[in-house]
Amino acid sequence: MGLCIDTDVAVPVRDGVTLATDLWRPAGTGPWPVLLARTPYGRTSTAHLGNPKLPDIRALADSGYLVVVQDVRGTGQSPGRMEPHRFDQSDTVDTLAWIADQDWCDGRVGMWGASYMGFSQWQAATQAPPELRAIAPMMTSADVYRAWYPARGAVSQSTLFNWSARMAMANLSRPGNDGPSDPRDVAQIRAALERPEDLYALPTGDRGALARGLPWMGEMLAHPGHDAYWKPLASLDRSSAITVPALNVTGWYDVFAREVVRSYTTMRRDGGSVPAREGQQLIIGPWGHGDGADLGIFPDRSFGPAGSVKAAAMTQAHLRFFDRWVRGRADVDQGARVRIFVMGPDRWREEDDWPLPDTRYEEYFLHSAGRANSSEGDGQLHRSPAAEDRSDTFSYDPLDPVPTVGGATLGVDGFAGPADQADVERRDDVLCYTSRSLEEPLEVTGHVALTVHVSSSAVDTDVTGKLVDVFPDGRAIILCEGLCRMRYRAAAGPPRPLVPGQIVEATIDMGVTSTVFAPGHRIRLEVSSSNFPRYDRNTNGGGTFASTTDIRVARNRIFHGPAHPSRLTLPVIARPA
């Protein structure tokens, strides 16, 4: 008997709800080890089950695993309305217990899945269910707050609005929908998805329709700080309770890249068991989050055949991981703990750990004669601080924000990934600091940070940073970026408004990358106050999300020199790439 699929299995959970589930039974009589995936995108959707980033279900079954695929509560054929994150932990734990109690399960269960499918893996792992042996969370976050607010206090607006719009439409279109909605809501949301300028427009586009279809959205926007609302969803805060290893997968241009890496490093250090610490693995390719961003080929930059997800052999990586930790086969060679795609030479490389053990952090200081505005300005990067104090000034208008071009986005407003920033760099509100042409190759692999000394005419504003590789032909290819919402500039504690005109220091987490700047290339840092709609625009008044009651233009100034050593910190690898 070959592969058999049992459809429409009803799995009961603690409050009496039954969740729609399919079982992919392998050949034979069992019992088998089990792999569980819980999805809000439809358990039979070929767009997700056939995603090349995810392991092939048939290959998992052919390898002797029974695969369970379940519709998250309020999606697909599971009853209710979609309420993100509210039931995921308890429903996952209950499903794991149900699986372990079936005669076709040998008592060993693993989990897999990308994006939203990864949130519940981390949340369930904090409860240490005895049957759960390993998880494989891909392109996701172990701290839900940081998924939606990647720069503390600033919303990942393009990700949030596009995802929420699709979930709201699904809610509003469900048979028997009993939520408060206008019949026109679905049509309004669908139209807005086709016109991003409407979806993102101040005050908040079709947020009224979105909030009616997905009430959670309005709820989460009311909590821009990492407060008590988010604490139960911060799985990494309970890393010592997590005893299972994880296969962590992301892309350099994934919206969750820095969070996947943070999950790996946190669990390596603080995991609650030896397997949880020693069994962590990390794979990072040159990919974005959305479909179509996994081929390694982009309009402005191609990484060649080696850069594709197919070349990364994700199904085989999952099988090796599950054979070792779910089946418990100590003889399985998992390969290197860390596998990264190094951009520049465009090839995969195996590493012992992350950050790379031979990382050396080097500082590049901002210089100018006071006119670093645009790529035609006089901004420079040097290894030593400037001899005298100077500053560069620009105006940030929330009604004319710097547009997002590529980078870590869903790719719905153009394309994600390594886009040319030349048009952005022509703007007067973008400061550009550029190194001399390199004479030797320079590898930058790891965490990038920007420390700036800044003042503003406003009580709140943003500072953005962007690391760019300037090619000899003039292309300015984005590598990674970040943002600091200035009232949240302190690592902890309540928001602190700016005192207009007062100079403060802030550090911007610019994420992670791995690239080799080739001879003839130049390193460039862009500094501004917006990157929209990657992040929501700050209206400079210290108000709530996209407030229209206090929109003002901010006059922002970046200081550099001996008294105010603004600097870019790069993780440099000295050995040959």
- In CATH, what number is assigned to the domain containing residue 340? 3.40.50.1820
At which of 221, 250, 271 does a domain end? 221
Annotation says 289 is catalytic: yes
Same-domain check for residues 324 and 234? yes
Q: What is the rounded average pLDDT of the residues 349-376?
A: 97
Rounded to the nearest integer, the mean pLDDT of the chain is 92
pLDDT tier for residue 131 given thresholds of 50, 70 and 90:
very high
Q: Catalytic residue among 91, 254, 469, 509, which?
A: 254
Q: Which helix (H) or strand (E) holds 190?
A: helix 185-194
Residue 494 in any domain: the answer is: yes
The answer to whether residue 431 is domain-embedded is yes
Instruction: Please indicate, yes or no, if residue 300 is contained in any of the structural domains.
Output: yes
Instruction: Give me the CATH number covering residue 411.
Output: 2.60.120.260
Q: What φ, ψ does residue 307 adopt, rounded to 5°?
A: -85, -5
Distances in Å between the Cα of 71 and the Cα atoms of 22, 92, 146, 322, 562 are 9, 11, 24, 22, 58
The one catalytic residue in 289, 318, 367, 560 is 289
Q: What pLDDT was estimated at residue 313?
A: 93
Helix axes of 88-100 and 116-125: crossing angle, nearest 10 degrees: 70
Most confident of 180-189, 289-298, 415-424: 415-424
Is residue 151 assigned to a domain?
no
pLDDT digits (tens, 9 = 90+) for 91-111: 999 999 999 999 999 999 999
The answer to whether position 416 is within a domain reads: yes
Q: How many domains does the chain have?
A: 3
| 285 and 173 share one domain | no
Residues 379 and 492 in one domain: yes
Q: How far is CA 100 from CA 58, 277, 488, in A?
A: 22, 25, 44
Among 9-13, 267-271, 549-553, whose mean pLDDT is lowest?
549-553
The rounded distance, in Å, linking the Cα atoms of 79 and 577 is: 52
HSE of 538, CA atoms in CB hemisphere, 13 A: 32
pTM for the full predicted model? 0.96
Strands (E) in 376-425, as ranges, are: 380-382, 390-396
pLDDT tens digits, 475-528:
999 999 999 999 999 977 889 999 999 999 999 999 999 999 999 999 999 999
pLDDT (average), residues 451-457: 98
Cα–Cα distance for residue pair 390/562, rounded to 1 Å? 9
User: Does residue 283 sit in the same domain as residue 160?
Assistant: no
**Domain membership flag for residue 477:** yes
In a domain, 331, yes or no: yes
The verdict on 424 and 476 lying in the same domain is yes
Indicate the residue among 351, 373, 401 that finishes a domain.
Answer: 351
Question: What mean pLDDT comes out for the span 130-153?
Answer: 95
The answer to whether 405 touches 452, Cβ cutoff 8 Å, is no
Q: Are residues 243 and 372 in the same domain?
A: no
Are residues 49 and 190 part of one domain? Answer: no
What pLDDT is stored for residue 479 in this prediction? 98
Nearest alpha-carbon partner for 139 in 220, 48, 211: 48
Known catalytic residue at 106: no
For the question of residue 115 being annotated catalytic, the response is yes
Residue with tokens 């004479």: 439
Same domain? For 295 and 410 the reply is no
Query: Could you read off the pLDDT of 417-430 as tens digits, one per residue?
Result: 999 999 999 999 99
Report the pLDDT value the prediction gives residue 564, as an integer from 0 to 100: 97
User: Could you tell me if 64 and 188 lie in one domain?
Assistant: no
pLDDT at 203 over 90: no
Distance CA 162, CA 200 (A): 10
Given the residues 78, 115, 239, 375, select the one marked as catalytic.
115
183 in the same domain as 257: no
Q: How confident is the model at residue 205 (pLDDT cuts 50, 70, 90)?
A: low
Positive or negative, the CA dihedral 123, 125, 129, 134 is positive
User: Which H helix or E strand runs over 159?
Assistant: helix 157-173
pLDDT beyond 80 at 62: yes
Q: Are residues 321 and 399 in the same domain?
A: no
- Assign 549 a pLDDT band (cuts: 50, 70, 90): low
Most confident of 14-23, 302-311, 411-420: 14-23
Single residue among 351, 377, 395 that ends a domain in this structure: 351
Strand partners, 447: 512
Query: In this structure, is residue 267 part of a structural domain?
Result: yes
Report CA 117 to chain centroid distance, whole Å: 13
- pLDDT exceeds cutoff 70 at 413: no
Instruction: Give the range of the structural domain holding residue 181, as residue numbers without chain letter.
Output: 156-221
Model confidence band, residue 546 (pLDDT cutoffs 50, 70, 90): low
Would the pLDDT of 84 be above 60?
yes
Q: Per-residue confidence at 3, pLDDT binned at 50, 70, 90?
A: confident
35, 169: one domain: no
Per-residue pLDDT at 177 exceeds 80: no
The arithmetic mean of pLDDT across residues 412-417, rounded, is 72
